[in-house]
Chain A
């Protein structure tokens, strides 16, 4: 049941990122809900199931929407790793670390996409303006979006299923 809810969360995050947010936020500053979700998941559960979900969802979204495979999957993979790096290493109710981790992961995603664009022969007019007007605000918004997502995940999805994987005897 909880795994189904998690799958629903992933689908809803994809819908938000690819259909709903671009429609209601026509400005170019869009939070990445999937990254916020994956970082939250990584922080709360560790590498599993965050990494397989990140790679699976990323590859499917790349096939459906993006120019190259890896444009979403690679940033999502790193987002889940960044989240998992804080797994069981901070006070469980601290909202700042997951939020900062999500902002960092979103920033990394922007850098990866910018590198992909430049490597594919693209040209950017105003790199500093791009960072000031798009990259930093989008990263901060992703960090902010992580706060409610983490609360939602913690309250509804992690009561039983994934905690079975935790080895408390260590």
Chain B
């Protein structure tokens, strides 16, 4: 009898784990994080930040290693001679680059007329090809809420889809579940830009849909900006440029778009808040 009970222990724990998992899946559907998710996310955020910083520094080291201009070679030689100062030099360089990125963000905010925003750092990103989600180190405590647009100096990056007290998750505009109301900057035609999972070719390529049928003067190179329709994305944020115009496409695709944002190299981002002061 006791042996039977012992043999059933793994099955009972497995069933309990499956039930717990099912419960969490059914309860966790984005938006504002619940207590457990919020607490876990708050604990994990500093760990993510540290891991992100370490891997970023390692990546920067390898990028510098393969950069072979004269200045870099001389720099590398000097660094080898001044090994003790190497670390502080790298830190200074990182700070300088960060300063440049933040300055670009500030310039962008003033040129785009963004008055209320929160800056945040990317501390995690979902791996794989199916979903394009970033975790940022700003949350409800800084006034961040779901459906707030997120931008970088190059243009629109995505939208906040989940928020905890000190973190939030951003779904990129190139994610295949995201649609953005846009307009062609030159012709002012309104249409919808949609992310798509491209199995081959450019992973970031987006599609343009619902362009008015009587307007066929779209040309490669045309810039697309958010139209402001729907109220989620403010009008005038740059989304990308048309790379290829499709004619007679049965799938309803009018054109392909290259997004302005470089999703692989995002570090500091700006979350456009609806109220409050600049963060």
Bound Cα distance from A116 to B133, whole angstroms: 14
Among the 9-residue stretches B192-200, B219-227, B234-242, the one with 4 or more Cβ atoms under 8 Å from chain A is: B192-200
Whether the pair A17, B131 counts as a contact (CB closer than 8 A) is no
Specify which of B51, B52, B126, B130 lies most central, judged by the most chain A CB atoms within 10 Å of its CB: B130
Q: Number of B residues contacting the other chain (C-beta, 8 Å)?
A: 58
Select from chain A the residue with minimum beta-carbon distance to B55.
A19
Chain A residues lying within 8 Å of B51, measured Cβ to Cβ, are 15, 18-19
Select from chain A the residue with minimum beta-carbon distance to B6.
A167
A153 at the interface (CB under 8 A from B): no
Bound Cα distance from A169 to B7, whole angstroms: 12
Which residues of B19-50 are within 8 A (CB) of A? Answer: 20-21, 24-25, 27-30, 33, 37, 40-41, 44-45, 48
Chain A residues lying within 8 Å of B228, measured Cβ to Cβ, are none
B3 CB, min distance to chain A CBs, angstroms: 7
A81 at the interface (CB under 8 A from B): yes
Contact flag A120-B177 (CB < 8 Å), given A46-B10, A55-B21, A113-B128 = yes
Contact flag A117-B127 (CB < 8 Å), given A55-B21, A63-B44 = no
Whether the pair B199, A67 counts as a contact (CB closer than 8 A) is no
A148 at the interface (CB under 8 A from B): no
Among the 9-residue stretches A1-9, A68-76, A88-96, A139-147, the one with 4 or more Cβ atoms under 8 Å from chain B is: A68-76
Chain B residues lying within 8 Å of A113, measured Cβ to Cβ, are 128, 130-131
A10 at the interface (CB under 8 A from B): no
Interface residues on A, range: 35 or more
A155 at the interface (CB under 8 A from B): no
A160 at the interface (CB under 8 A from B): no
Which residue of the partner chain, among A18, A69, A81, A84, contacts B37 with CB atoms under 8 Å? A69
Select from chain B the residue with minimum beta-carbon distance to A62.
B28
Chain A residues lying within 8 Å of B33, measured Cβ to Cβ, are 63
Whether the pair A51, B176 counts as a contact (CB closer than 8 A) is no
Chain A residues lying within 8 Å of B28, measured Cβ to Cβ, are 62, 68-70
Whether the pair B264, A117 counts as a contact (CB closer than 8 A) is no
Chain A residues lying within 8 Å of B1, measured Cβ to Cβ, are none
B14 at the interface (CB under 8 A from A): yes
Select from chain A the residue with minimum beta-carbon distance to B205.
A125
Contact flag A48-B9 (CB < 8 Å), given A67-B169, A67-B171 = yes
Whether the pair A134, B199 counts as a contact (CB closer than 8 A) is yes
Whether the pair A64, B10 counts as a contact (CB closer than 8 A) is no
Whether the pair A68, B17 counts as a contact (CB closer than 8 A) is no
Bound Cα distance from A127 to B196, whole angstroms: 12
Select from chain B the residue with minimum beta-carbon distance to A77.
B21
B213 at the interface (CB under 8 A from A): no
Bound Cα distance from A89 to B199, whole angstroms: 38
B84 at the interface (CB under 8 A from A): no
Chain B residues lying within 8 Å of A30, measured Cβ to Cβ, are 127-128
Bound Cα distance from A18 to B47, whole angstroms: 12
Whether the pair A52, B17 counts as a contact (CB closer than 8 A) is yes
Bound Cα distance from A47 to B18, whole angstroms: 12
Q: Which 10 A-B pairs have the closest CB atoms?
A: A122-B176, A69-B28, A47-B10, A130-B199, A126-B199, A129-B199, A70-B25, A19-B55, A55-B17, A64-B44
Interface residues of B (CB under 8 A from A): 3, 6-7, 9-11, 13-14, 17-18, 20-21, 24-25, 27-30, 33, 37, 40-41, 44-45, 48, 51-52, 54-55, 58-59, 124-131, 133, 135, 161-162, 169, 171, 175-177, 194-200, 203, 207, 264
Interface residues of A (CB under 8 A from B): 15, 17-23, 26, 28, 30, 46-48, 51-52, 54-55, 58-60, 62-71, 73-74, 77, 81, 84, 113-114, 116-117, 120-130, 133-134, 167, 169-170
Q: Can you list 14 A-B contacts (CB < 8 A)?
A: A21-B127, A22-B127, A51-B14, A64-B40, A64-B135, A65-B135, A68-B30, A69-B37, A117-B131, A117-B177, A122-B176, A126-B198, A126-B199, A130-B197
